[in-house]
Structure 1
Amino acid sequence: MSDNIVLLADDDSDDRFFIQQAFKSCGVSAKVIEAENGAELINFLKKPDLNVSLIILDMNMPKMNGLEAMTQIKAMPHVAEIPVVMISTSPSQDLYEKAYKAGVQSFMPKPNTFDEFNDLVGLLKQRFLQ
């Protein structure tokens, strides 16, 4: 098992399941820790001694959306440099721009099929989980 820890914040339990399965299917050695919303993610990030390799952040979530969570992540010096990939079903150019301005490293469309989830995880492996 790798030392890679991936935090996944998404309110859709099916999407969290498919991302977990895609990590296994793609042979990515990482521990994926799930949060159901941005507020839960931020509470987890407040823990000391984190060794998180990547954060996958859904845009549309209750309690705290992806942009709100991103603002808080960047305000926490001990986690501000962790790469964040935002996923969303919204194709809005305005949303892309806001996400990049907030500091995400990548903004990707939310997958709809298991093959697309595998493609997403393959890209994440290539770019962030070497």
Structure 2
Amino acid sequence: MKMHRDILIIEDDEDDREILKEIFRDLGYKNNLVFFSDSTQVVEYLRRPDIHPFIIISDINMPKLGGFELRDTILNEEILMDKDIPYIFISNAQDEKSIKEANKLHIQGFIQKGDDYARYKEKIKNLVDYWRENINTFKSKKTS
């Protein structure tokens, strides 16, 4: 079942990766977490025919290839777009320009990182639970 597939997390900051590892460990989801500190490696990974992640959680501000550029690449490459993977941004930025840009890229969520661990954990839980419950409904509406 898709809800137990890998969760891809693209985050260049080591401290933020550790926080996300801790959050997912605390939440107890059975999904394997696949971390990328270099966003340029994600496209090649996703091109593999055996790779079908549950969701992608991506930072926006990263060196080499930012989150917006990565999402745009996925949307413009048919083999990647056809995998139909929910794409969620996590970022410290919550400015109107970033949110508008994210929405233009047809994302399925935008979470602000925070200093409040309990609140950040709650946001991640809500996100994963939403997709676990609605992934099949979302897909069937897209194909209708």
Offset at residue 105 of structure 1 (A): 0.7
Q: Percent identity?
A: 24
- Whether contact under 8 Å (1:42, 1:73) holds in the other structure is yes
Alignment partner, residue 85 of structure 1: 88
> What per-residue deviation string (whole Å, max 9, x for no partner) do you get for residues 80-126 of structure 1?
22000001111211110111111211111113232233112211222
Offset at residue 71 of structure 1 (A): 0.4
Mapping 1:1-130, distance limit 5 Å: 3-80=4-81, 81-130=84-133
Higher helix share: 2
Which contiguous aligned blocks of 4+ residues in structure 1 show a shift greater than 4 angstroms? none
Going from structure 1 to structure 2, the CA distance change for 1:94 and 1:6 (only over 3 Å counts) comes to same
Q: How many residues align?
A: 129
TM-score scaled by structure 1? 0.90
Alignment root-mean-square deviation, CA: 1.6
Going from structure 1 to structure 2, the CA distance change for 1:77 and 1:87 (only over 3 Å counts) comes to same
User: Which AA in structure 2 matches 1:91?
Assistant: Q
- Whether contact under 8 Å (1:11, 1:37) holds in the other structure is yes
Separation of aligned partners in 2, 1:41 and 1:87: 16
- Whether contact under 8 Å (1:9, 1:57) holds in the other structure is yes
Offset at residue 37 of structure 1 (A): 2.9
User: Which AA in structure 1 matches 2:132?
Assistant: L
Question: Which structure 2 segments of 5+ residues have no match?
Answer: 134-144
TM-score scaled by structure 2? 0.82
Offset at residue 127 of structure 1 (A): 1.3
- Whether contact under 8 Å (1:38, 1:64) holds in the other structure is yes
- Whether contact under 8 Å (2:9, 2:33) holds in the other structure is yes
